[in-house]
Structure 1
Amino acid sequence: MQKKFIFLLCIYSLGGFFALQAVIDPSPNVKKQEDYYKLEDFGKVKKFDVHIHINTSETHFIEQAVEDNFYFLDIVDDRPFGLPMRKQQEFALLHLKNFPRQMVFATTFPVSNWAEKDWVQNTMADLERSFAKGASAVKIWKNIGMDLRDENGAFVMVDHPRIDSVLTYLTRKGVPLLGHNGEPRDCWLPLEEMTFSQGYYSEHPEYHMYLHPEYPSYEDQITARDNMLQKHPELNFMGAHLGSLEWSLDELSKRLDAYPLMRVDLTRMPNLMLHTLKDRQKTRNFFMTYQDRLIYGTDSAINPTDNPGELKQRIHEKWLEEWKFYATDAPLNLKGFGELRGLKLPRKVIDKIYFENASELLGFKTGE
């Protein structure tokens, strides 16, 4: 009788053990379902697009962002074409006033007054006014390095001493810098050697640096940016367009290893898709390794439109297609190259690149 009691006790104990194990360690199918998002989860997950340019007072884009559960950073540029930076900032402030829970904005500073003796002091005073109005970051554009020249006609690069003073000020303020430094490497290659940019540079030879060897080289641009980061190791920095290192995950990895406060946005999607097509596992490993340093963005320009429905649909489809690339292993086609499978990154990585990393960089909270 005693032996039978002990036997039954063991059976009950084992049953309890296995039940406990099922709670602690669910079956592989359950774990797989919990660890990954699906395509249909797109609208349920809060997301952040860190690279948007709104050039209008119209709100169609923001309405679509709300519908798709997207927050965003509106970036003001000091570009010599299109909408002037002051007007860009007017629109940013207007939208920030009306949609403070949906967005933040990055201001910038002009260099048209570079020759003025008090440029540094005036620039910092201007930035201070922008911060008081709500700016969360500062953008530095490719005109520094590819257009601006000093009194001797030499190109001004981003590691120039006068710019150092501004970056020291930003570091002290705890304000992040966004840098569009140089261009894709294609810009310095012959048309026949380019990967994605043949159409643009064939139509705009004035911007095709291969035809202008008197301008700083691609290596000059990257070296100046690296020098800037070496001189300002406590500066929170996000390199736009994969830090202009879109052509090589190895080269980008070297910079992320060298500069702990460097992040990059993911706005050169064709390059990421090509890396995935050539070596999906290597690309996926890159995302796993640097999951805290990569921030989702599209570099979408939002201009006035007579067809709001078309704009909304275009934005939605781009966001959804890129979610498919990151969150699923669905087949995708890269035009001119072939078919690839999405990266199907784990849920925790998706949450980081789609929201948490931008939130940390910009101090953005949804208020939820």
Structure 2
Amino acid sequence: MNNITYFAFLLIVVGSCSPAKEKTGSSQPEAIDQQSIRKIDVHAHYRYPRPYLSSFFQDWNMQAVLVDVAHEDSAGIRRSWEEYVDMNIENPEIFYLCSSLVGVGIDDPDFATKNIERLKEEIATGAKMVKVWKNFGMVTKDASGNFIQIDDARLQPIWDFLKETGIPVMAHIGEPVQAWRPLDDPMNPHYEYYKNNPQYHAFAHPEIPGYETIIAARDRWIAANLDLPILCAHMGSMSHNVDMVAERLDKYPNMMVEPAARFGDLASQNSDKVREFYVKYQDRIMFGTDFGNYGPAKGWTAEQLNAEQDDLDATYNDLWRYLSTTDSLVIRKQHTRGLGLSREVLEKVYFQNASNFIGLQ
């Protein structure tokens, strides 16, 4: 697989409101220099070093949170944590860390205690958040053969610990609703993902609980832990309908959202409506992408590295245009018009909300 194809693949692989402060409109806003807006990509996966990363992030005036992914398979639990720690040590001015939690072994009476001890160590190493993934609800089962939902009472001691420690949670619970639908539309922004990751295409796995069941469990968990800051990744797996997201933001004051890998879903909706959503909830939305790298660059040529950098730059630029201009553009096969957000809103979405959430100085 050549480098450009590989990078395109990884982008596929990798879900208290304030009143509106501006009116929507179709006129082109005054151009904003992207370098003048400080940024945090709150959901990134830069697992391996690249010689261009330092200058690239400097050019984008950006930092990123490296979000650990804990995969469960027949070999056990595979994580990215150690590689991310190395990246943080090598580039502390760029990268922050996010740990993870899965439900494997939840029947063990010491499950919560063991995980709390591990999280203490990883927080001491620098973790600013703890991620829970779609393993909850869709993959991991307990000893009785039941899928473990995120509101399982056996997890509560861990949430209590995080509250006491002041560490927020990033929650990728569930999948886009299209995961429960036939894979028959190549223009679906998630078509390639489920084609390449059929294990998460719930339509083909009737044993996986339904979309509504998983979202309801997520909502009960948030409601039961209103003193725990929760960032719902991928627009809370409700990215196909900003009204669903708005309903939860109105109901749960501890909930924030970010759209990583779901900009295509936003682009498929009316731009004026999405813009109004961003303006109304400008204090509750962060910028996340799911961008990263998943293999070492050993043996790569300068041309391959340049191609990867150019692809990365182009994808960040597309998202900048979508948020900051009213250009016509295509996001994950969806023809759309940019939102044209004001500088005030962009500064919150790109930086200030994430900075406040993870407790940066």
What is aligned with 1:364? Answer: 360
**Alpha-carbon spacing, 1:257–1:327, altered in 2? closer, same or farther (3 Å):** same
Instruction: Give the drift of 1:61.
Output: 3.2
The percent identity for this pair of structures is 29
SS in 1 for 2:53: helix
State how far apart, in whole Å, the 1-side matches of 2:151 and 2:311 are.
38
Letter in 2 for 1:359: S
Say whether 1:183 aligns with 2:175.
yes
1:229–1:259 Cα contact (<8 Å) kept: yes
1:184–1:244 Cα contact (<8 Å) kept: yes
TM (normalized to structure 2)? Answer: 0.84
TM (normalized to structure 1)? Answer: 0.83
Unaligned ranges ≥5, structure 1 = 1-34
SS in 2 for 1:238: strand
SS in 1 for 2:143: coil
State how far apart, in whole Å, the 2-side matches of 1:85 and 1:362 are.
26
Instruction: Give the drift of 1:312.
Output: 1.4
Cα distance per residue 1:116-141 (max 9 Å; x no partner): 22110000010001111111110001
What is aligned with 2:273? Answer: 282
Letter in 2 for 1:105: L
State how far apart, in whole Å, the 2-side matches of 1:254 and 1:183 are.
18
Letter in 2 for 1:272: L
State how far apart, in whole Å, the 1-side matches of 2:220 and 2:213 are.
10
**Alpha-carbon spacing, 1:86–1:100, altered in 2? closer, same or farther (3 Å):** farther
Match of 1:350 among 346, 350, 354: 346
1:77–1:85 Cα contact (<8 Å) kept: no
Q: Mean alpha-carbon deviation: is it higher for 322-331 or for 104-113? A: 104-113
Q: Mean alpha-carbon deviation: is it higher for 101-110 or for 238-247? A: 101-110
Letter in 1 for 2:118: D
State how far apart, in whole Å, the 1-side matches of 2:324 and 2:82 are.
36
Unaligned ranges ≥5, structure 2 = 1-27
Cα distance per residue 1:15-42 (max 9 Å; x no partner): xxxxxxxxxxxxxxxxxxxx96625x11
What is aligned with 2:323? Answer: 326
Instruction: Give the drift of 1:174.
Output: 1.2
Q: Mean alpha-carbon deviation: is it higher for 143-152 or for 230-239? A: 143-152
What is aligned with 1:114? Answer: 106
What is aligned with 1:52? Answer: 44
Task: Identify the structure with bigger relative contact order (alpha carbons < 8 Å, sequence gap 6+).
Answer: 2
1:65–1:71 Cα contact (<8 Å) kept: yes
Instruction: Give the drift of 1:198.
Output: 2.8
Match of 1:94 among 86, 100, 120: 86
What is aligned with 1:234? Answer: 227
State how far apart, in whole Å, the 2-side matches of 1:208 and 1:337 are.
21
State how far apart, in whole Å, the 2-side matches of 1:105 and 1:37 are.
35
State how far apart, in whole Å, the 1-side matches of 2:293 and 2:263 are.
18
Say whether 1:271 aligns with 2:265.
yes
Letter in 1 for 2:310: Q
**Alpha-carbon spacing, 1:94–1:215, altered in 2? closer, same or farther (3 Å):** same
State how far apart, in whole Å, the 1-side matches of 2:64 and 2:30 are.
21
Say whether 1:316 aligns with 2:297.
no
What is aligned with 2:134? Answer: 142
Structure with higher helix content: 1
SS in 2 for 1:71: strand
State how far apart, in whole Å, the 2-side matches of 1:252 and 1:318 are.
25
Larger radius of gyration: 1
Instruction: Give the drift of 1:217.
Output: 0.5
Instruction: Give the drift of 1:301.
Output: 2.8
What is aligned with 2:194? Answer: 201
Letter in 2 for 1:266: P
State how far apart, in whole Å, the 1-side matches of 2:77 and 2:66 are.
12
SS in 1 for 2:86: helix
Instruction: Give the drift of 1:240.
Output: 0.7
What is aligned with 1:23? Answer: none
SS in 2 for 1:80: strand
**Alpha-carbon spacing, 1:334–1:133, altered in 2? closer, same or farther (3 Å):** closer
State how far apart, in whole Å, the 2-side matches of 1:147 and 1:199 are.
20
Instruction: Give the drift of 1:298.
Output: 0.7
**Alpha-carbon spacing, 1:87–1:285, altered in 2? closer, same or farther (3 Å):** closer
SS in 2 for 1:182: coil
Number of aligned pairs? 326
State how far apart, in whole Å, the 1-side matches of 2:158 and 2:198 are.
33
1:49–1:298 Cα contact (<8 Å) kept: yes
